[in-house]
Amino acid sequence: MDLFDHKRRFYAGVLPARPNTWDVDEVFELLAELDETRVQALLSYVGAIWPVSHSLCFAYLTHGAQALEQFPKEMLGEWVRQILALYESKGLLGARQFMADVDRFFLGPMRGVAGVAFEEIASLMVHYLRGISGRSIQFAVAQLPSTDTATIFLPGFLDTFPDKQHNVFLYKLLISLQWRQVESRIYCQGLAAKTDVLQLLARYPERQLSADLFAAIRFIQAFRSLESELPGLARQGRGLCLGLIQKIVPAGDEKEKSGALQDLLTQGIGVQDPVGRRALSTRSSWKFLATDGGRKIVDDLWHGAAFDVLPELYKIFSGLAGSYHLGAAALLLGEFDFTRAAETIRLRREDEKEKFVAMLAVFLEQQRQRQRDEDGGGNVPGSSPENLLLVRQKGQKENNSRGRDAILLDNEGLEVPAELAALLKEIQDDLGVLPEAYVQAAAGQAGRGMQKKENGSLEGENRFAPKDGHRYDEWDYRRAGYRKDWCMLTEKSLQPVRSGFVAGTLAKYPGQLNKLRRQFEMLRSRDRFVRRRRHGDDIDLDAMIEALGDSSAGLSPSDRLFVQLLRDERDIAAMFLVDMSNSTEGWVGVAVKESLVLLAEALEVVGDRYGIYGFSGMRRSGSELFHIKHLDEPYGAEVQGRIAAIGPKEYTRMGPPIRHVTRILQETRSSVRLLVVISDGKPEDYDDYKGQYAIEDTRKALLEARGCGVHAFCITIDKAAHDYLMHMFGKGNYIFVNDVLALPAKMAEMYRLITS
């Protein structure tokens, strides 16, 4: 067969599509290099890939030509299988990456080599980082390690070392090093210095050298801080670092500079072995370490600011001959993107300011209210809490001994909520002092507070507002007041779908289900013996003895002498409110639905009353609540069909559905009322319901629920625990689940924990 035949076969394979001949010609040019049998093999999978994606198919042919140089055509089937699987999970980009590096992604793992994808260990490392840092820092993939203080960037795949364990450990080390960079506040310093760090580094003629030396200094300092923070990691990591440092090679014949860099780093991580020493002393170019000046530099390295040490180090290095390639040592040095970090910090500070102002405003308003009540209306000027606050702070500048929070707390009668105090501390730690402007902004907001009430109209949206909707207020933190009847919520029902979803889920988790049934069995309203009853099934010996005692003492003994078998009723009504916004499309949605199936099975065992509703919607007039199961509706085919019908809709305005379901719960007669919200991230609507506004309204809605005696608990599915969660849901009132697959188990477990 020749080229023409190949093309004909290709066109036949993709019928009825008629791909662009240019694209086809381009690809087939590459195939011309291959021998006949390989081309045949390659083309035999076109029929399978083309229907999935045309672009994927062209990419397959392009990379396939090269790939077949690297492995026998018998392995092609497996290669294609992995491509398709990746396409499904990671899209075209993921599949392309996979195809582009056959040795690393395909052959490597087949040989049983040691590479690790970050994905494999991500959920472990999320917990690890959360634990060591106590913060919520995210992960993202990038070529080289770096951080912007909110996210740590790491390579998606590491195969630096010949066994897997070491590569996993390398990830852990890199994460820990970047965490130290975050903690060092180097980026905040850069921001505070007000000099453009980039320009600072660019001043040096050899720009790359200055950047590398800067990174080297920062690495050494980070490693040093690990020695005190995580001594075990530093100890075990030292050898690994040494291995990487030795990967630095000279570019060309001159070895001076690369050798010096190796020595600096080796010395830097505190390797003191005689071999290292000798290496240092024999290198003529690096004698300065032995001099006083040299020692001082090294000493400064440990303790000084990286920016201060850099000039001198640069001077020395620029005088050395040769050049170097960092190789894998680049992983240790990482990258420093000051612009990106500055932007992140700016955004975070803005966020914190907003949050702080909102909370302080509410707090001040409450204080003012209280004072008004106490004063009987007469507001004495100068005695309002915010004045007090400002006066106290002025006085504070003289005796700098205590933080601002102490001042707040010292004010008698001003009991600052724990959350506000925590945020205050965070801001103080970050900025050194609480900016006056924050307090003033809050005082201003609180002042405007209650006077401004929104009127009831749904400006311009009225026409679309359904008549049978429910109106709800919405909390506007900026004015510390409610917008009256701001939102409209409509109840709808989901059309049940017939599918194998429920049966499939039950079949998928047999072990899990057994365990759940057993555990919930134990929660069940059970019979228990109640002592000291008038009538009963047996004699209560304790009571009997007591009665004997009483009668001997001349008292008339109690007639409550029996134990009785009584049913211990669990009187719980639980409402599950499920996020049906479009972001739940895909795995999240499936996992949520599966969780509901397992949960329903478990709840049927224990016999608690429960309802399930979904929510979504668009704009304040378009909040929608989808009925899946009413509180006392039996769990049967209808409900199962509606669970199966849950699917992604529009946006996430959390306030109205929470308020609505709270109202439903209030009307039920159960003694314990529970609201469980399942969502996958920040509340957000199409209009201005986003950011702090949305968080504050959601928080308020949950507080209202708690105020009505409803216990509100939230489960959020996310890659990491964000800081806003605690603020929004309240400490101890939520869990986050980063592994969707674990959701079904975790959700039932959580329900069990909070109701036992």
Partner 1 sequence: MNDPFVCRLEEYRIAAEPFFLPQAKEIDIGLAASANRLPLLLKGPTGCGKTRFMQYLAWRLNSPLITVSCHDDLSTSDLVGRYLVKNNEAFWQDGPLTLAVRAGAICYLDEIVEARKDTTVVIHPLTDDRRQLPVEKLGKLYSAPPEFMLAVSYNPGYQSVLKDLKPSTRQRFVSLSFDYPPPDLEKEIVMREGGIDERLAVQMVKLATMTRSLKESGLAEGASTRLIIQTVKLIGSGIDTVSACRAGMLQSLTDDGELLAAMDEMIFSLF
Q: Which residues bind partner 1 (CB under 8 A)?
A: 123-128, 130-135, 172, 176, 229-233, 236, 531-532, 545-546, 548-555, 572, 672, 674, 711, 721, 725-726, 732, 734-739, 742, 746, 750, 753-756
Beta carbon of residue 488, minimum distance to partner 1 (angstroms, whole number):
31
CB of 690 vs partner 1, minimal distance in Å: 23
Q: Considering beta carbons, is residue 440 or 755 the nearer one to partner 1? A: 755
AA letter at 616: S
Closer to partner 1 by CB, 86 or 125: give it.
125
Do strands 151-154 and 146-147 pair parallel, antiparallel, or not at all (unpaired)? Answer: antiparallel
CB of 211 to partner 1, least distance (A): 29
CA dihedral (128, 133, 137, 142) positive or negative: negative
Say how far apart CA 623 and CA 615 lie, in whole Å: 8
Asked if 512 contacts 593 with a C-beta cutoff of 8 angstroms, the reply is no
Amino acid at 394: K
Q: φ, ψ for residue 577 (rounded to 5)?
A: -115, 115
Judged by beta carbon, residue 72 or residue 232, the one nearer partner 1 is: 232
Q: What is the SS3 assignment for 274-311?
A: HHHHHHHHHCHHHHHHHCHHHHHHHHHHHHCCHHHHHH
Q: Which is nearer to partner 1, 421 or 431 (CB)?
A: 421
Per DSSP, the residues of 687-735 read SS--HHHHHHHHHHHHHHHHHTTEEEEEEEE-SS--HHHHHHH-TTSEE
Nearer to partner 1, 62 or 558 (CB): 558
CB of 711 to partner 1, least distance (A): 4
Distance of CA 271 to CAs 5, 149, 299, Å? 65, 29, 15
Kindly state the smallest distance separating residue 754's Cβ from partner 1, in Å. 5
Query: Residue 449 has which token pair?
Result: 């507070």
Query: Is the C-alpha dihedral spanning 81, 123, 591, 723 positive or negative?
Result: negative
Q: Nearest 5°: phi and psi at 627?
A: -75, 130
Q: To the nearest whole angstrom, how small is the minimum distance from the Cβ of residue 467 to partner 1?
A: 37
In the DSSP assignment, the letter for residue 392 is H
* CA 493 distance to own-chain centroid: 32
Q: How far is the CB of 231 from partner 1 (least distance, A)?
A: 7
Give CB contacts under 8 A, 24+ apart, made by 458-463. 458/485, 458/486, 458/488, 458/620, 458/621, 461/619, 461/620, 461/621, 462/621
430/192 Cα distance (integer angstroms): 11
Q: How far apart, in whole angstroms, are the C-alpha atoms of residue 617 and residue 582?
A: 10
Tell me which DSSP letter residue 106 carries. I
Q: What's the rounded Cα separation, in Å, for the pair 150 and 134?
A: 13
Q: What is the DSSP letter of 491?
A: E
Comparing CB distances to partner 1, the nearer of 555 and 637 is: 555
CB nearer partner 1, residue 570 or residue 653: 570
CB of 352 to partner 1, least distance (A): 19
Q: Give the C-alpha distances (Å, rounded to integers) separating 381 from 154, 389, 414.
A: 57, 14, 18
Residue number, 350 or 527, with CB nearest to partner 1: 527
Closer to partner 1 at the Cβ: 109 or 557?
Answer: 557
Residue placing its CB nearer to partner 1 in the complex, 44 or 755: 755
Q: Give the helix, strand, coil percentages of the chain, each rounded to 5.
A: 60, 15, 25
Cβ atoms of 102 and 66 within 8 Å: the answer is: yes
d(CA 34, CA 57): 18
> What minimum distance in Å lies between the beta carbon of 226 and partner 1?
9
- CB of residue 196 vs partner 1: minimum separation in angstroms? 35
Q: Which is nearer to partner 1, 52 or 530 (CB)?
A: 530
Smallest distance from the beta carbon of 180 to partner 1, in angstroms? 12
Cβ of residue 508: shortest distance to partner 1, in angstroms? 19
Q: Which is nearer to partner 1, 549 or 586 (CB)?
A: 549
Instruction: Please report how the helices 418-431 and 338-375 are oriented relative to each other, as an axis angle in degrees rounded to 10.
Output: 140
- Could you tell me the smallest distance in angstroms from the CB atom of residue 673 to partner 1? 8
Residue closer to partner 1 by CB (options 428, 738) is 738
When the beta carbons of 100 and 742 are compared against partner 1, the nearer one is 742
Q: List residues bridging with 609 in a β-sheet.
A: 573
- Picking from 321, 301, 304, 322, the residue whose alpha carbon sits closest to that of residue 313 is 301
> What is the closest distance, in whole angstroms, from the C-beta atom of residue 91 to partner 1 in the complex?
27
